[in-house]
Every structure is written in C-alpha cells, then in structure tokens.
Amino acid sequence: MKKLHFLILLISGLGLWIHPVFASLPNDAPSTGGDYRWVVEGFDWGPAVNKVILSLPENTKEAHVAHYQVFAKRSLEGVEIPAENASGMRSVVYAYVSDENGNRREEGKHITLVLSVSPVMPLSSPFQYTRINNRGGNYWVDYGLTVIHTKSGQVWNNPVGKIMPLVDDFDLRGKFTYGNNQSMSYAAFTPSTIKGKVPLIIWLHGGGEGGYDPTVALLGNRAANYASPEIQLLFGGAYVLAPQAPTFWMQAAEGMTRGKDNDVYNEALFNLIKDFVSKNPNIDPKRIYVGGCSNGGYMALKLILEQPDFFAAAYISALAYSNEFITDAQIQKIKNVPLWFIHAKEDPTTVADQTVLPLYHRLKAGGAKNVYFTFYDHVTDITGFYGGENYRYNAHWSWIYSHANLARTDFDGSPVMVNGRPVTIMEWMAAQRKK
C-alpha cells in the first residue's frame, strides 16, 4: 500500500482530482517515474499537446488505450491561470506501439498515446495568452504530464524533450542585427530538394506572437504549414521565412500605428529579408511572396507600399492597415502587385469597412487586374470535427483559410482562375512571377 499511497500523493501534488481507478492499483506497483516525450502540433485555433510518447524498459507488441490515465499541469511564472485550465485529466483516445518519435511499429520500446484536443480545451495548450510588461502575447507555459498505467502502476513523469512536427523542420536560430545593436529573430525552412531557383514564402505573425522565440510565431497562427508537403508541392519546393517582431509589427515610436505614423520595424524587416535572400542564392528573386495576418497583414502591406517592385505577390488576412491612411498615389503605386486578401465580415478587431473593403474597391477602381478578395461571412470549423459550419471561431481568425489553402473565390463569389482553371490561394500565388 505504500506505493499506492505514493501515487495518490503524486497526483494530489499536481492539484488533480483522483480517479476511482487508483483504488484498484496492485500493491507492487512501481513508484519510479519513467521518461516521456510530448508532441505539440499547430491546429486552426493554435497549438496543442496531442500526443505523449512513453519509454519502456523492454519491447512490447501491445498498447491498450483503456490502461492509461494522463494528467496535465500548466503553469507560467508570475501569471495566475484559472484552476480548471491549470490542471486536470487529459482524455486518451488511442494508443499504439511506436518508436521514440511516435512512428507506429509492430514491436518497440515506446507507446504513443493520442490525446483529445479541441478549440475549447485550454488544458491541452502549451501556450497562455497574457499581458507581461504591458503587452499581450502568447507564452510557452511549463507543461507537465504524469502518465499512469492502471494495471501495473507504472508512472511516467520525467520529460526528456518535445517533438513539434513541421516546426522541427525549421532552423530556429536566425538572428538579424540592426540599428543600435538591436536584433530580430526568425525561423527559416529550406526545401529538401532544390532544382534550380525556388521561391521564397514570407509569413508575418499576428500581434500576440512577438518576442525572441520563433516557435511562437510558427505555432500561434499555424504558419509552419507553409512547409507542409501539400503546400511545398504546389511551389516545386520553397523556402519559408518567418521573422518575429521583438514586440509587435504595428509598434510606432509612441504606441501603436494603423498606418498614420510610421512603425519602428519595417526598414529593419526589409533588410532582414534582403540579407536572407543574399545568403540563399537558390532563391528566385522573381518569386518572393509576402503575407501575414492582422499585425502581420499590416506589415505585409507596408512592405508592398514601400517596396512594390521587390515582391511577386502578397497574401494578407485580417488586414489591420486602415484604408484612410493609404493615399490615391499609393494605390497607383501598388495596383500592379498581385494581391489576395482574406477577411471575415464579422471581424471585431480589424473591421473590414475600415480596412480591406474600401482598399479592395479602390484598387479595382484604380485599374488593378490581379487583386482578389475572399470575404467570408464567418470563420468556422473547416475540419468538421467540432461542428463544421455550425461552429464559429472568433471572426478575426480568417488566416485559418490561408494556412489551410482553402480560399478560392473573389469578392463576388466567382472562382479565381489561372490559365482557365479555378485555383486556391496558394496555387494562384505559386503562379505569380515578377516580369
């Protein structure tokens, strides 16, 4: 009973409720904690811990989902997380024998548990949105798991690393120095096979993903998906560059700008991009694409306004640049740049009537021939797992349709066409090339 008492104390120490299963643990259940690795993937609503990989002392051929209980604890120094989001039991939906990276095997020394995730399950998220130093943003939490095999009493509570699919394919060490010894972080993906010159896709994150950890920028908006095999195939392989603002892209000398005043980052960011291109000679200078959401949408448009001849196209969702601060002369300056906007009618943060809607109509009236605007009524569950059209996300999150490559219609609902056939936003962008 001493070992059972240890397990009860262990879980109680995590601040979690005790499941009745512990009443039937064997007396000889081991009390030592085994090693585990956790898996973090980006979803439409943000990142989630969706798997845990358990190390075993010897080979096994069996994994029974009903034999495992998983408890999680989330904490962030100096931040009070509501109790229901700070600790609790995670639901295990599947179990299988695997290798150390979670790849299925008929026999092996690891068990992978697949955990339930959803948009309304904060306990599954390794991020916490909070205000630190008077700035709201997403921050990694201290995420701990305790896994118990209910038949043997085996415990896993020693984390030995995490796996981030797609994110782990990026070089996360990028630093660009500018100004008075200031620096900007960035993540970079290099395609595995390069034949001749290949494009560069640039993604600029939203307002909550600034700082000096580019994994936040890649996971916060699911931007790592531009390195996915599905999207890479459309471009014949492409570099992906994800710069990170030290604070937020719309920061001005005083406060925040929506275009009236200059921001503090656009010049440094453009120099970072040029530096990256110069250091990667396989990048095709005629196929450099820039996009972003919200704050990043503002910056993508700012770069186009400042450097319209540098970029082959732009893809912008939830634009935060106010139309009133764009002059008619600037409209003429950028009207020949291929642009595709994505927005939702109910967006409460970047109101379409003040940003993208009048801008799109001004561009079309000014003679723009290759400008499109997919205007959604709502932002809904594109997977169908959580209700499909009947489940609505925050309408600001229209970038979901960009990352998933689902946008395919113009403002009037007609399909966007390239060479006589309908295309998605990424297929359209892959076809754009500077003359």
Confidence grade of residue 282 (pLDDT, cut at 50, 70, 90):
very high
Contact 263, 222 (CB under 8 A): no
Query: What would the CATH number be for the domain defined by 2-163?
Result: 2.60.40.2180
Cβ neighbours for 257, distance < 8 A, ≥ 6 positions apart: 250, 251, 263
Let me know if 196 is exposed, middle or buried by CB neighbors in 10 A (0-12, 13-18, 19+).
exposed
**What is the pLDDT at residue 32?**
59
Instruction: For 253-275, write each residue's pLDDT tens digit.
Output: 999 999 999 999 999 999 999 99
Q: What is the pLDDT of residues 86-120, one digit of tens each?
A: 999 999 999 999 999 999 999 999 999 999 999 99
Reported as type and span, the H/E element at residue 306 is helix 295-306
Q: Are 206 and 294 in contact (CB under 8 A)?
A: yes
Give span(s): CATH 3.40.50.1820, the chain: 167-430
- Number of helical H runs and strand E runs in the chain: 10, 20
Q: Does domain 167-430 have CATH number 3.40.50.150?
A: no
Nearest to 266 by CA among 250, 290, 287: 250
CA distance 296 to 410: 22
Q: What residues does CATH 2.60.40.2180 cover in the chain? A: 2-163
Q: How far apart are CA 128 and CA 138, in angstroms?
A: 5
Q: Taking the model in full, what pTM does it have? A: 0.92
Per residue in 23-71, pLDDT tens?
333 334 344 589 999 999 999 999 999 999 999 999 999 999 999 999 9
